[in-house]
Structure 1
Amino acid sequence: MADHKFSIQGDSPAVDKLMFWRIVGHEVLARPSAYELTVLTDNESIDAADVLGRSFDVVIEFADADGNAHKRHCQGHAVRLTRVSQSGRFLEYRISLRSWFWLLSKRTNARILQNKPVLGVIDAVLDDSPVGSLKKIKAGGVVGPHAPHVYCVQYRESDYQFLSRLLEEEGIYYWFDAHDAPGTLYLSDTSTLAHEKLPAADTLNHVERGASEGRFNEITRWVSSRQFESGKFASRDRDFKVISKQLDADKGDPDTHELADLEVFEFPGGYQSGDDTDNLAQLRLDELVGRRQRHWALTGWPDVAAGRSFAFKGDPDGKRDGDYLIAACTFVASHPGYEGANFPESQRPIDVVLHEALADDPVNAGMAELVGDLIAETPTLRTGRQGACSFLLTAIPLNTPWRPPRMTPRVTMPGPQSAIVTGRSGEQIWTEEHGRVKVQFHWDRYGKNDENSSCWVRVSHPWAGKSWGAISIPRIGQEVIVDFLDGDPDQPIIIGRFYNGESMAPFGLPAGAVVSGIKSNTHKGKGYNELSMDDTAGKEKVTIHGQYDMNTTVENNQTTTVHNSRTDTIDVDDSESVGNNQMQHVGVDQSVSIGANRTETVGGTETITITGHRTETVNGGETVTVNGGRSHTVNGMQTTTISVAEAHTVGAGRMHSVGAGEAINVGGVQTVSVGGAQMVSVGGLQKVSVGALQSVSVGGPHKLSAAVISETSKGPIKIKAGAICMVEAPTIMLKAGGSKIVMNASGITIKGAKITIKADGTASFKAGGSIKIKGSNLGED
């Protein structure tokens, strides 16, 4: 110790007042370095404002066996100042120093980071923190694959806890350099490659305590431990995009002892893609394997520090010689003394380290008792007596991958939370193919209430099948209930929605409390669709409202029963299509009112049955077209009244049959036109009565046949022929009053009271036989 020199450097205004007395340190992988620095002042008090938060560097200067000078640094920031005691003119103070990374423990935050790898997360946190001004990081030791965190939440945890658990989960650890770059944080995920050798002497030789000079690169005590650890790791997780597929991973590296293949199984595995399974399983296995073998060594050589490697030589049986990584370093270094400064030996400094540092030591986890025994058995460590310089190392084989154990608790969300649905500006619904939405949590001070406020969050629905179920996408501005799968803040899921003072419930509460239902809101418009049920006693009602269209499809039968009245109002068109039969039953009356035209088309036969009377009124014209045959049967009396004209056109033959009497009454002129032949057959009496002139015009021969023909005229009867007028019968009789002419096969007989034959010209009488003229008086004019 006589050759060691101690100095205190830093940016504190009080640094020049401080005299080094003792330092107790604990340096360990994956944790900030912790130092308890005891200083003296020459009767000068220290103001805490000049110390706390300031950087201090305790420099130990030493020489190697060749006389070469070297320096070893203990750099940190003051986090506690304690006035301990006074001896003579000297005041004793204890300053607790921690690496700058520890300062992140004093800032608690809640934030969301997206699409950043773990190194990017570290940068984002530090860039947002006042501690970021102290940032000195070298990440060249991080060489493994580290996928970006699509969604990463810090919630109710300090920046230190947040970054620590992320690094532990990804198998990345850190240490602070004590040689070339004091205060620099080194990051690594490959312990077999990332660590430089000790700069002053890269080999530490084992020497029995009695033979040691106690000043150079010697190890005076070496303790080894090998413990039982699980030799296999397995995990399982899920990816909702292929939810039926189990994302399994397993890795194994059993030790050589019995039952070494016991397995550790974890669910969830911490991955949501099959691409990450093997890598994460290997990380977890490395975490187990790295705890199997640990070694502890005592030395007085100040060159040793956590994060450096060395070669160990001189093991009595040679089995443990090899390269090792210093994973932890606990030490005490004391000044030889100042004249007039007499302070009793105290175990308090080392106790501080044991209780505060070893309690959270990821390297010596589970071995605190052994470490405590080693310290208790080493007086220089236990009491930190004047002139002491003693280091206790925890070493692991350099060829064994080491991963930090996951000691930092992962945040578990305490329960569901409220959030507001967000999305891109100008949109009302912001979603994607899986129906997920974005939300803004109330605790998120960094979110901008836009499409980047969160990851895509899955939404719970009443039903969710393969292209079937019930769905209602939360809309921007709605308040939703967010829970978290396995309590993981990185896996939010929407399980419900809230009404609030800005978004009140429909149907008007409390008056509308009896109304239940669904009411939507038109997207980018004004209107709604609604299905509601009013349970008011005596006024129960179901309301269905479609703002635009409404489509109903029933694949089989539909039955609708209305026990009272029903009203259907259609403001525009109505179309009804029945693929098969239709039956409509009206118990009493039916009234159909059509404001304009009506067209009825029957593809087959139509039958109309009316039990009572039927009245049909057509205020305009009526056209009935029958493309086939038509049968019109009236079992009772039929009356047809035509106020104006009536025209009947028959394209082919027509048959008119009347079972009883028929009367045709034409108030004006009746014209019957037959394009071809016309036959009128009357089984009984036919009587034609014409009130005025009757004219019969026949384009061809006119034939009249009857058993008896009788024609009676109240006036003259005139027969006129354009050519011959022939009357043929066995006997023809013309009779007027008492006179008559009879013609038959035997001759012609003219009988009358007076017979006159007068000719304006010549009158000739010619007979094949004789001509007889007989009278009582024959004369000539």
Structure 2
Amino acid sequence: MFAAANQTHFSLHIDGLEHDFQVLAFDGNEAISQPYAIDLELVSERPSLDLENLLHKPAFLQLGDDGRGLHGLIYRAAQGEAGKRLTRYQVTLRPQLAYLAHRINQRMFQHMTVPKIIAQVLEEHGILANAYQFQLGAVYPDREYCVQYDESNLQFIQRLCEEEGIHYHFRHSADGHQLVFGDDQTVFPKLAPVQFQHDSGLVADTPMIKRFALRLETRTSSVTRRDYDFKKPLIQLEGAADSLDEPALEDYDYPGRFLDRPRGKHLATRALERHRSDYQQASGDSDQPLLASGHFLTLGSHPNAQWNDLWLLTDVHHQGRQPQVLEEAITSDVDAKYDGFQQGYRNFFVVTPWQQPYRPPLKHPKPKVLGDQRAVVSGPAGEEIYCDEFGRIKVQFFWDREGQADDKSSVWMRVASSWAGQGIAGLQLPRIGMEVLVSFLEGDPDQPLVTGCLYHGVNMPHYKLPDLKTLATIKSKEYKGSRGNELRIDDTTSEISIALRSDHGASALNLGYLTHPRPSGGAPRGEGFELRTDRHGAIRAAGGLLLTTEPRANEAKHHKDLPETAERLATASDQQDSLAELAKQMQAQEPGDQDTVAKDLHKQHQGILGSGPGDLSKNEFAEFTQPHLVVSSPAGIALTTPGPNHLTSGSHLALSSTGHTSMAIGKRLLASASQGMRLFVQSLGLRLVAASGDIDFRALKDNINLLAKLDITANADRITLKAKTELVVQGGGSGTTYNAGGITHVTSANYTAHAAQFAHIGGASMAGTFPEPPKPGKGALELFNLYANTKGIKAGDYEVTDALGTVLKGALDGQGFNTVSGAAPGPAMAKFGLDTADTWSLGSFAKGLPWPKLPVAEEGTPSLLESMYAKLAPDGSGGMLDKAKQLASSGMSAAKTGMGLLKTGQNTLQSAQQVQAALKGGVAGLPQLASAASSALPAASGALGAAGKAGAAVQGAMASLPKLPTLPKLPDFKAPSLNTLTDLMPGELIS
């Protein structure tokens, strides 16, 4: 396009500045999603303009009389050569957006969408809402964490737009330039049609497109993105898009930066559109100044009719010259710069088909973090430990100027641990104030991961280094307290040890070479192990417990190995058996007295020793088939306490010693036996000595018997024999009887009496004192039998056997209680009879227990119980309960028949006895035999028939019952004792 030699079309307007600039030439480029730059060459009659005053002024380059032009800020100003009258100046117009390239930052945005992040950055630069707009069709999710990492604000915005597939362009006017963001084709304005005319060198009357060429180029045909969400680790997150073009050329990338499949599909589609955005691309040149990037061009009059369509202008390069503003020569390089272009306006453009969505190319990749970074754990004020359900923490980065070291300083960050799995854990949460080391997955600043902790000048190592360099420790601190816990490993040469400690109760387990704390000098305290606490302690082993000092060098045997102990127990058991047998032979014990003791000892020994060699491949060993507690030592066992000592057994108590058994008692030896006391000495005799006080033998109910093979000798100052009714002294066939009737001497030989004097002084009697023996008192036992719902069983029978073997029977009251009087003091056993209530009731079983909790695998049981109840509940047909009662009625009928059967059986038996008697009678008994047989056989046949009918009735009733659902097996449980004096036997489920 040309103008008259003395006519100008290009002019520059600068806001707030009076000037005489004339536009000599301009050259600039504008493109979608790029800040444009227009370089202008100006001339002015003023040789010394204030260049600094020009910078940042809004200016408008008008390209024609119709007002079309380019607006921008003076980004660059320069002064060139000067002629006699005119001086040349150069300025560059750029959008305000270009200024964002000069502000570089490191910061983070949390829970914001990309449009909101962009708007915030723009408005920080004074680009307010009237200077930009978003025309977006898609909905963009919040980015939980988005880091601007060592990027300029412009680079950051362009990167976000490229990642999301958002483009931007500018709309120019004399008053300003507006930044428009969009994500589809509808945001681009449509220009008036422009005709094509091949460049013939002639001047056209209207602006034309003079060249238009199309090219196609191979591009990616499909895109696949994949990612991972740790919150849903089993879900494969993948999104894909396919153009169905050949050949199949796929772009696959991981991670795709998405957490749900629709988002993945969206990003894959945007990526494919970006790849294929310039699959078809046309270029051309024209002299139409209305062409602008981000606008639709309608091409007309092209010989290829298919090209006469709508095209999107993605790039326009503008050039203009008007040398007529010069009245003198200033420079000679203008012609060279414009390639022979002398005067007027021209442009070079690039277009794509309108139907192909435009997506900006990835020219600004996300920066990668090279290596790890340091940060400090942060959280809300007053907290020491701050985390979420995944054990994630928040940190304050040292580069973050906006963070306040609180619970908003960063996104939740996962913490690497030594172990993390289902039922597997190695968790140590960094606490607020700790310095941590942060890594980034694939170098992505948006994917931080805490990988470790660091000491610094305030948080120093717990033990002084390098002095205590042999100590390795894991030490924690009480939450909002001052105490702590510690696992310490000491690798000091020849003094290695491990200690597990808790400040609560000063509890500790010390293993190895025991010392006082190393920081305090580490004085030796012994060798081996020490388990101690200032509070309570307990050792529990459900399968059995062995406490032994028998040596096992280098763990040579399995941990339950106890042959020495088992041999000693076997020897003791044999000793018990042999002495018990001898005691029975010597009539010191009655037969059977020690049989149960021996049986239990053998059973215990077998339970400790086990049977068979075990299975080494399964790590199974024979010992401890029952949970015994065995204490063993090759040297000795000492038990001591300044307080009471109580040894109790619910069964038998056996003491065995191959040497002496010695008891030294400071006060009295008190021994009580409920059912007899037997002492047997095999040899060397039995000696009972009282250094002071009486020796008192009493039989309160029966006799005292003394038996000696040789002599019985009594030595005392005085010996008194008293008998309440009669005293008999016998020896060698002679004897004397003393009773109320007199004294009778009996002998078959001589009777000799020696006396200095022998006097007969009349009759007299000597009355003795005979105290009444004390009577043992009677005890009382309280009974209570109850259902699982804790309600008492009404009027149930009971039977109590007391310590003396006396059996007491009775019935409970209406509340399930009763008190049994007259029972001997001591242990007793109670048995309860059948429930007298309706035994078809759902709660009618007599175990006084809370309903047991079900294991996790049996959580379906309650619903099964509900199903069972539904079966039991009455319905239109009467329900299972009614059918059960019908069954009970049938059972009663069967029972009645059974009673008749029993009577018939008795008659049959009687007849059979008559048959037997007849057989014994021989020939004479034949008539009687025939009569007995004729009556016995029909009776037996009738009994069998009645039994068959009764069984059929019960079987039929049982078949009519509906089938109950199968319940999973409940955990075993034991009924607790309801009384300190008795263990109650469980009642019946259904009586």
Give TM-score scaled by structure 2 length. Answer: 0.62
- Pairwise mapping of residues 643-722 of structure 1 onto structure 2 (< 5 A)? 660=685, 667-689=692-714, 691-708=716-733
Show the counterpart of 2:53: 50
Distance 1:487 1:570, change over 3 A: closer
Q: 1:268 to 1:730 in 2, by over 3 A?
A: closer
Question: 2:538 corresponds to which letter in structure 1?
Answer: S
SS in 1 for 2:154: helix
After TM superposition, give the deviation of residue 180 of structure 1 in Å.
8.0
Change (3 A) 1:164 1:632: farther
- 2:717 aligned with 1:727, yes or no? no
Matched residue, 2:248: 261
In structure 2, the residue matched to 1:114 is 110
1:571-627 per-residue CA deviation (whole Å, 9 max, x = no partner) reads 343333444233333344554432322333344555444455554434355544556
CA distance in 2, matches of 1:615, 1:675: 30
Alignment partner of 1:585 out of 625, 632, 639: 632
Give 1:595's aligned residue.
642
Partner of 1:647: none
Tell me the amino acid that sits aligned with residue 43 of structure 2.
L
Offset at 1:115?
Answer: 0.7
Q: Which residue among 506, 511, 516 is the counterpart of 2:467?
A: 511
Q: C-alpha separation between the residues in 2 aligned to 1:627 and 1:215?
A: 137
Is contact 1:176-1:182 (8 Å) kept? no
CA distance in 2, matches of 1:36, 1:633: 127
- 1:137 Cα deviation from its structure 2 partner: 4.2
For residue 169 of structure 1, what is the amino acid of its counterpart?
A: E
In structure 2, which of residues 226, 240, 248 is the aligned counterpart of residue 250 of structure 1? 240
Q: Which residue number in structure 2 is paired with residue 525 of structure 1?
A: 481
Q: State the Cα distance separating 1:450 from its structure 2 match.
A: 0.7
Q: Deviations over 1:29-83 (max 9, x none)?
A: 0001111011112132232311222222212233xxxxxxx21121122222222
Richer in helix (by share):
2
1:214: how far off? 4.0
Q: Does 1:463 align with 2:419?
A: yes
Q: Which of these residues, 393, 396, 418, is aligned with residue 437 of structure 1?
A: 393
Query: Is contact 2:738-2:744 (8 Å) kept?
Result: no
User: How many Å separate the matches in 1 of 2:92 and 2:50?
Assistant: 15
Match of 2:39 among 15, 31, 36: 36
Matched, 1:490 2:446: yes
Please say if residues 4 and 60 of structure 1, whose CA atoms lie closer than 8 Å, have aligned partners that are also in contact. no
Cα distance change, pair 674–173 in 1 and its aligned pair in 2 (3 A): same
Change (3 A) 1:264 1:346: farther
* 2:181 equivalent in structure 1: 187
In the TM superposition, what is the alpha-carbon distance from 1:507 to its structure 2 partner? Answer: 1.4
The code of the aligned residue for 1:684 comes to: K
Contact 2:215 2:280 survives alignment (8 Å) = yes
Deviation, 1:297, is 2.6
* SS of residue in 2 equivalent to 1:123: helix
> Is 1:473 equivalent to 2:477 in the alignment?
no
CA apart distance, 1:325: 1.5
Letter in 2 for 1:82: A
- 1:206 counterpart residue number: 196
Q: Which residue of structure 1 aligns with residue 69 of structure 2?
A: 73
In the aligned structure 2, how far is the partner of 1:71 from the partner of 1:60? 7
Distance, in Å, in 2 between the alignment partners of 1:757 and 1:698 is: 24
1:119/1:30 CA distance change after superposition, 3 Å: same
Q: 1:327 aligns to what?
A: 314
Deviations 1:624-649 (A, max 9, x none): 45567766566676xxxxxxxxxxxx
The C-alpha deviation readout for 1:119-143, integer Å capped at 9, x for no partner, is 111122233x3x2256644434211
Change (3 A) 1:174 1:586: same
Q: Which has the larger radius of gyration?
A: 1
Q: Secondary structure at the match of 2:346?
A: strand
The aligned amino acid for 1:48 is: L
Quote how far apart the aligned CAs of 1:262 are.
1.5
- Which stretch of the first structure deviates more once superposed, 32-41 or 174-183? 174-183
* In 2: Cα distance, 1:315 partner to 1:197 partner: 19
Amino acid at match of 2:367: V
Q: 1:154 aligns with which of 148, 161, 180?
A: 148
C-alpha displacement of 1:249: 1.9
Q: Residue 10 of structure 2 corresponds to which residue in structure 1?
A: 6
Q: Percent identity?
A: 24
Native 8 Å contact 2:194 2:208 kept in 1? yes
* Residue matched to 2:403: 447
Counterpart secondary structure, 1:285 = helix
| Cα-to-partner distance string for 1:645-698 (whole Å, 9 max, x where unaligned) | xxxxxxxxxxxxxxx475655744444332222141423244353534444443
Distance 2:251 2:327 in 1: 60
Q: Matches of 2:540 and 2:314 in 1, distance apart? A: 84
Structure 1 contact 415–483 (Cα < 8 Å) conserved: yes
CA distance, structure 1, for counterparts of residue 350 and residue 135 of structure 2: 21
Which residue, 354, 363, 367 being the options, matches 1:407?
363
Instruction: Report the CA distance between 1:184 and its aligned residue.
Output: 0.6
What is the DSSP-based 3-state SS (H/G/I as helix, E as strand, rest coil) of the residue aligned with 2:468? helix
Q: How many Å apart are 1:475 and its aligned residue?
A: 0.8
Report if the CA contact (8 A) 1:249-1:277 is conserved. yes
The amino acid of 1:399's aligned partner reads Q
Q: Unaligned regions of 5+ residues in structure 2, if any? A: 515-525, 545-626, 764-991
Cα distance change on mapping 1:616 and 1:416 into 2, 3 Å: same
State the 1:145 CA deviation: 2.3
Shift of 1:18: 2.5
Task: State which drifts further: 131-140 or 432-441.
Answer: 131-140
- Please list the CA deviations of residues 341-371 of structure 1 after superposition, one character each: whole Å capped at 9, or x if unmatched: 4355646997xxxxxxxxxxxxxxxxxxxxx
Contact kept, 8 Å, 1:515 with 1:532, in 2: the verdict is yes
1:87 lines up with 2:50 in the alignment: no
1:88 to 1:477, Cα distance in 2 relative to 1, 3 A: same
- Tell whether the 8 Å contact from 2:122 to 2:128 is kept in structure 1 after alignment: no
Matched, 1:538 2:499: no
For residue 102 of structure 1, give the secondary structure of its aligned residue in structure 2.
Answer: helix
Equivalent position of 1:576 in the other structure: 539
Q: Distance in 1 between matches of 2:733 and 2:642?
A: 59
Q: Distance in 2 between matches of 1:252 and 1:446?
A: 43
CA displacement at 1:446 relative to structure 2: 0.6
CA 1:674–1:89: 2 relative to 1, 3 Å: same
Question: Equivalent of 1:298, from 272, 285, 290?
Answer: 285
Provide TM-score, normalisation by structure 1: 0.78
Contact 1:233 1:251 in 2 (8 A): yes
Query: Cα gap change, 1:632/1:300 in structure 2, threshold over 3 Å: closer, same or farther?
Result: farther
| SS, match of residue 455 in structure 1 | coil
Is the 2:24–2:42 Cα contact (8 Å) retained in structure 1? Answer: yes
Aligned in 2, Cα 1:524/1:621: closer, same or farther, shift over 3 Å? farther
Q: One-letter code of the match for 1:284?
A: A
Query: Are the counterparts in 1 of residues 733 and 747 from structure 2 also a CA contact under 8 Å?
Result: no
Alpha-carbon shift at residue 733 of structure 1 (Å): 7.2
SS of structure 2 residue aligned to 1:39: strand
Shift of 1:223: 1.3
- Check whether the contact 1:480–1:498 (CA below 8 A) recurs between aligned residues: yes
Match of residue 601 from structure 2 = none
- Quote how far apart the aligned CAs of 1:570 are: 4.1
Change (3 A) 1:730 1:691: closer
Moved more, 332-341 or 409-418: 332-341
SS at match of 1:165: helix
Q: Does structure 1 conserve the Cα–Cα contact (< 8 Å) formed by 2:61 and 2:69?
A: yes
